[in-house]
Homo-oligomer: A and B are copies of this chain.
Amino acid sequence: MAARNLIPFEAALMARADQVEARLRALLDDRPLSGEIARPRRLLAAMRHGVLNGGKRLRPFLVLESAALLAPDHDEAPALTVAAALECVHCYSLIHDDLPAMDDDDLRRGQPTVHKAFDEATAILAGDGLLTLAFDTLADEALGLPADRRASLVLALARAAGSGGMVGGQMLDIEAETSAPDEAGIIRLQAMKTGALIRFACEAGAVLTGASASDRERLAEFGSAIGLAFQLADDLLDLTADAGTMGKATGKDAAAGKATLVALHGEAWARRQLSGLVEQAHALLEPYGEQAALLKAAAHFVAIRSN
């Protein structure tokens, strides 16, 4: 779409996506990580295929804008690198999620998934490599942050992404296909599967700028609220959008009889919930006044997005 038709938020999101893309390209270029041992070319190509795919880079945006909110004058280089590392984790999860043994998806953003463009073994390894690269990047002195912040970022990301977070949520999601969870079960599943990484994105902005514990908690809560909104919007989209708009298969939840809050309570309820979550997210940012305008717009965007 042409830049002149964009609302200011979408323009800001795209500008951030360009910055993040550049950082991701640098992380995935042909240079050895250390010493002289180059990374295998085919593996790097698969990692790039899974990452450099024109994603919206919403999670990186949240890292960058949370950091900018709490420390307006900070050097943005570390934030950009943290944002890129987080995106590596998000993309690894999509690569593994798309595998035949998992969701078995052939398309992602209208392009062949990594195991389709390469092969299954390469896709598994590309995911493993991206996850590991994220922690490499956060722990490295080259990030330009003190060691305690680097260790905090590694820990928070591992908690968000691991068996008590995203990976655990994926497990619950698979189990939900054969044994429908109740409402509390769905909420737990979604908080882990998609919520944890979005929460981390906002929290990371606080950690990397050395913000106070209360700012960190507030941003994390904001992230939780929009994480919930994100998932609700996703479930609504699966119900109402077509594959062309989404660049991936839709209607899969209903076809699989998958339990979602939308299936449980209906579309009207879900839209009311979404409004409530956006209000809650906005309220959390009140103390920051006008500075928080972009993050508030992000909450709105997450709730009303059409793909």
Query: Contact: A43 with B101, CB < 8 Å?
Result: no
Number of copies: 2
Q: Is A162 an interface residue (CB 8 A)?
A: yes
Nearest residue (CB) in B for A157 is: B135
Q: How far is the CA of A104 from the CA of B34 in the complex (A)?
A: 32
Q: Is A62 an interface residue (CB 8 A)?
A: no
Query: Contact: A43 with B168, CB < 8 Å?
Result: yes
Which A188-206 residues sit within 8 Å CB-CB of chain B? 188, 191-192
Q: Which of A6-14, A115-123, A226-234, A238-246 binds B?
A: A115-123
Q: Is A125 an interface residue (CB 8 A)?
A: yes
Q: Which of A73-81, A146-154, A265-273, A294-302 binds B?
A: A146-154
1/0 per residue A146-171: CB within 8 Å of B?
Answer: 11101110110011011111011011
Given A37-B164, A158-B139, A164-B33, check contact A101 B120 (CB 8 Å). Answer: yes
8 pairs from A and B in contact (CB 8 Å cutoff): A34-B164, A96-B124, A125-B174, A129-B167, A139-B139, A147-B148, A150-B151, A150-B154
10 cross-chain pairs, A with B, having the tightest CB-CB distances, nearest first = A101-B120, A136-B158, A129-B163, A132-B162, A139-B154, A147-B148, A139-B155, A43-B171, A33-B164, A147-B147
Could you tell me which A residues sit within 8 Å of B by CB distance?
32-34, 37-40, 42-44, 47, 96, 99, 101-102, 119-122, 124-125, 127-129, 131-133, 135-136, 138-141, 146-148, 150-152, 154-155, 158-159, 161-165, 167-168, 170-172, 174-175, 188, 191-192
